Each structure stands twice: as structure tokens, then as C-alpha cells.
Amino acid sequence: MKLKDEKILVTGGAGFIGSHLCDRFIAEGAEVVCLDDLSTGFVRNIEQLMDHERFTFIEGDVRNLDTCRNAVKGCTQVSHQAALGSVPRSIKFPEQTMSVNVQGFVNVCKASFDAGVERLVYASSSSVYGDVIELPKVEHLIGRPLSPYALSKQTTESFAAQCALHYGLSCVGLRYFNVFGPRQHPEGPYAAVIPRFVRALDQQQALPINGDGQQTRDFTYIDNVVAANLLALTSRRQDTHALYNVAAGGQTSVNTLAELLLELYFDEVGDTDVHQKIIYGPKRQGDIEHSYADIGKAQHELGYRPHVSFSEGLQRTVTSLQRNRQQHG
């Protein structure tokens, strides 16, 4: 099955990941409905699609069931990306995290099976592995959640399984591992590490690292995540609920990331006077120490391959974020 002539609802479609999915689905010939309340997404991420005849933008909140029902009307598939991210934010504002991530997901699922949607692919997270120390992370082994954000993602996975069991809704959950790339917002206290580091370098500031920097992450470039979503939507597998790791299948420490960015940044701008000192701060509450995915299941069942390497993705991201800073200040 291809996406040409399909109608797809993308919740959170003006966000970092969602906007890239909107671009790809339109390129594949689908009609796309983008639902976003613009609380963490931006119109600039989808401005290139606003006048497209197969694209519709709805500003609305997934916590409103009527809004979800209106958005999903006539859609054959749903790509659910709407969420309130960030472990620290979830610890500070647990009520918002659970409301958006859990109640919002329930509403999207309810609207989807009522509308007869064929498949719902939703964003889960590597945070669901919690306190499991075994590496690499495998889909069947999750642990105790270490933050309200992790709990919200575990809850959505459980609810998706219930939807498959009781309502026959075909659901595929994709556990994202530290996604990065163009359009990732670099500002604010809850920004992801790569855009935050690039912004610090642009402003000739030290790179802030939480903890000792020995913590590792399976950094995954956005194009790989888009490819996984496309495969999940078009897979002919008959599973009513399936879960897959979406990652690059490698480990990089935060210290190594900082060193690579310093080298890459200086090569790009030729400014060796930029302050290179790394500032270490307290370890963040709720953070997983090591994250490294086994992607064998996604490879075997979906045909997933991470085509863009970490190093190539980092190069593309630095170039894009610097260009965006020049354009938007």
C-alpha cells in the first residue's frame, strides 16, 4: 500500500517531527490534515505547505474530543505526534504532561476508531525503558518509569493495546531515540541537547552539560524517523498493535557530542577564538544514564534502515540551524 490518494491526519504537525512528516506525506501524494495548537509547534515549520491543495491546517488542541473528531473526518490513517515533551518539564508540570500526552492520545484514538481509520501510528519514546539497565534496549523489556513523561508514554502504549483489543484499531507505536535535525527548537529551558549546544556556540557561550557527560544516547537523525513512520503506515502486517524502536543503533556520549560539535563548528565558521570551555552542572532528575537501541525488530518486520548516519546528520543539522539563526535572528 502506498500513500498516494490516502488522507492522513498528522497531530502535532507544526512541530519538529510532525512538520517533516507532513512534507513527506505530501511528497508521497497523500492529502494531509495538520492539527496543532501551536503551543510548541510553529507555523514557520509548515509555511511551505500552507497553499498546497492537498494540505489543510487546523489550529486546535487534542485535549478537545470534538476538535479531534473534526480533524479526523474522512481520514484513512492517523500519524499522532502531538505531545508535551521533556523530562524536566514533566517533573515541573506533571498535570500538563499527563493531560496532553494521555488524555490527548485517548481523544485521538477515540476519534480514530469512531471514524473507521485503518491505522494509527503514534510517537512513543525511549523513556519507557526507565530503570532497565540492560543494553541494547529491546521492545519486550521495559522498566519502572523515571519521570511523568516516561509514565505518560508507557500509558499511551497500554491504551493503544486496549484500542486494538476492544475496538480493532490497528496501532503501531514507534519508540523514538533522541531525534535531532533541522527545525528542532533551540531555545528555552526544555530544548534538546543538540540545538542547545549549537545555539550556545553561535552565541560564543560555553556548552552546558548536565552531569559528567558520560551518559550516552542513541542520537537519531530526523530523516530516519520519517522513513520509519512511512514504513509503519504502509506495512501490510496484520498485527493489531506493534511496538518498534526507531534509532540509529549506536551509542554516543554527551562529552563526545560536545567535542564533535566544537570541531565541526570551527571547521564551518573558522573561528578558533570561540570560547570552548564546557560547563558541567548537576545531573538532571529523571534522566536515563545510557540509551542504546536494538533495532532488529524494526529491521526484520518493517524493513527499517537508518540511512543517515549520526555524523552526516550532525553536519546537516549544524548547517541548517546556523542558516535558520541568520534568517530569524
**DSSP string spanning 70-113?**
HHHTT-SEEEE------HHHHHH-HHHHHIIIIIHHHHHHHHHH
Q: Within 13 Å of residue 136, how many CA atoms lie on the same side as its CB?
A: 18
List pLDDT tens digits, range 186-236: 776 656 888 888 888 888 888 888 889 999 999 999 999 999 999 999 998
Exposed/middle/buried for 203, CB within 10 Å: 0-12, 13-18, 19+?
Answer: exposed
Alpha carbons 83 and 304: distance in angstroms, whole number: 24
Where do the domains of the chain lie?
Answer: 7-179+220-248+292-307
Strands 119-125 and 77-80: parallel
Note the pLDDT of residue 190: 56
Alpha carbons 286 and 170: distance in angstroms, whole number: 32
Note the pLDDT of residue 327: 65
pTM of the full structure: 0.93
Which has the closest alpha carbon to 248: 290, 289, 217, 214?
A: 217
The residue with greater pLDDT, 280 or 189, is 280
**DSSP letter at 63?**
T
Q: Please give the single-letter amino acid code of residue 195.
A: P
Note the pLDDT of residue 103: 98
Has residue 16 got a pLDDT over 50? yes
List pLDDT tens digits, range 151-165: 999 999 999 999 999
Mean pLDDT throughout 20-43?
97
| Fold of domain 7-179+220-248+292-307 | Rossmann fold (3.40.50)
Has residue 279 got a pLDDT over 50? yes
**DSSP letter at 57?**
E
Has residue 150 got a pLDDT over 90? yes
* pLDDT grade for 80, boundaries at 50, 70 and 90: very high
List, by residue number, the catalytic residues: 149
